[in-house]
Chain A
Amino acid sequence: MEKLASCLVVGLSTGCIYSLVAIGFVLIYKSSGVLNFAQGAILILGAYIFYSFSVQLGLPMPLAIFLALVFGALLGYGLERFILDRLIGQPVLAIILLTLAFSELLKGTMYLAWGTDLISAPRLFPQGNINFGNLATIDYSQLAFIIITFVLVVLFAVFYNKTKIGLAMKATADDTIAAANVGIKVRKVFAVTWIISCITAAAGGILVTNVMGIHYNVAEIGFKAMAVALVGGLESLTGIIVIGPILGIVEFLAAAYLDPLVGGGMRDLAPFIILLIVLIVRPYGVFGWERIERI
Chain B
Amino acid sequence: MWRPSGLFHINYRQEIAFIQTPAQWVWLVIGLILAYTLPLFMPMILWDYLIKSWVTIAAVLGLSILTGICGQISLGHTAFMAVGAFVGAILLDHGVPLIPALIAAGLAGGLVGLIFGLPALRIKGFYLAFATLAAFYIIEFALIHYFGGEVGHAVPPTNMFGFNFDSDLRIYYLVVSVTLLLTYCSKNITRSKWGRAFVAIRDHDIAANTLGVNIYFYKLMAFFIGCFYAGVSGLLLSIYMGWASVDHYPLSNCIWYLGMLIVGGMHNISGAYLGVFFILGIEQIGIAMAPVFAEWFPAKAGSMIGTVPILFVGLTLVLFILFEPRGLVHRWEIIKTSFRLFPFSH
Once A115-B303, A272-B137 are accepted as A-B contacts, the answer to whether A279 and B127 lie under 8 Å apart by CB is yes
Residues of A within 8 A of B151 (CB): none
Please tell me if the beta carbons of B258 and A275 are within 8 angstroms of each other in the complex: no
Total number of residue pairs linking A and B with CB closer than 8 Å:
120
Residue of A nearest to B135 (CB): A276
Question: Are the CB atoms of B314 and A265 closer together than 8 Å?
Answer: no
Pick the contact of B206 from A112, A265, A293 — CB < 8 Å? Answer: A293
Within 8 A of A (CB), among B104-158: 118-119, 122-123, 125-127, 129-131, 133-135, 137-138, 141, 144-145
If over half of A's interface residues share one DSSP class (helix, strand or loop), that class is named, otherwise mixed; here it is: helix
Residue from B75, B122, B310 within 8 A of A280 (CB atoms) = B122
**Interface centre among A101, A104, A115, A265, by most B CB within 10 Å?**
A101
**Contact string, B304-339, partner A, CB cutoff 8 A, digits 1/0?**
101100110011011001100100000000000000
1/0 per residue, CB under 8 A from B, across A192-234: the answer is: 0000000000000000000000000000000100110010001
Return chain B residues, CB-CB under 8 Å to A88: none
Interface size class of B (residues with CB under 8 A): 35 or more
A293 to B123, CA, bound (A): 12
Query: Among residues 243 to 276 in chain A, which have CB atoms less than 8 Å away from a CB atom of chain B?
Result: 262-265, 268-269, 272-273, 275-276
Residue A109 CB within 8 A of the other chain:
yes
Q: Which of A86, A234, A268, A279 contacts B119 (CB 8 A)?
A: A279
Contact partner, A279, options B122, B310, B317, Cβ 8 Å: B122
**Nearest chain B CB to A146's CB is how many angstroms away?**
27
Q: Are A101 and B138 also in contact (CB < 8 A) when A92-B125, A94-B262, A112-B303 are? A: no
Q: Is the CB of B252 within 8 A of A86?
A: no
Question: In whole angstroms, how far apart are the Cα atoms of A113 and B307 in the complex?
Answer: 10
A-side interface residues, number (CB < 8 Å): 45
Interface membership of B259, Cβ < 8 A: yes
* In the bound complex, CA of A262 to CA of B138 (Å): 13
> Does A130 have its Cβ within 8 Å of any Cβ on chain B?
no
Assess A112 versus B135: contact at CB under 8 Å? Given A101-B255, A104-B314, A279-B122: no
Which residues does chain A contribute within 8 Å of B44, judged by CB atoms?
none
- A residues in contact (CB < 8 Å) with B: 29, 35, 83, 86, 90, 92-94, 96-98, 100-102, 104-105, 107-109, 111-113, 115-116, 223, 226-227, 230, 234, 262-265, 268-269, 272-273, 275-276, 279-280, 283, 293-295
State whether A98 touches B322 (Cβ < 8 A): yes
Known: A92-B126, A109-B311, A272-B137. A98 touches B119 (CB 8 A): no
- CB of B300 within 8 Å of the partner chain: yes
Asked whether A108 and B138 contact (CB < 8 A) given A223-B133, A265-B144, A279-B123, the answer is no
**When chains A and B are docked, how far (Å) is the Cα of A93 from the Cα of B130?**
12
Instruction: Report which of B67, B311, B321 forms a contact with A108, defined as CB distance below 8 A.
Output: B311
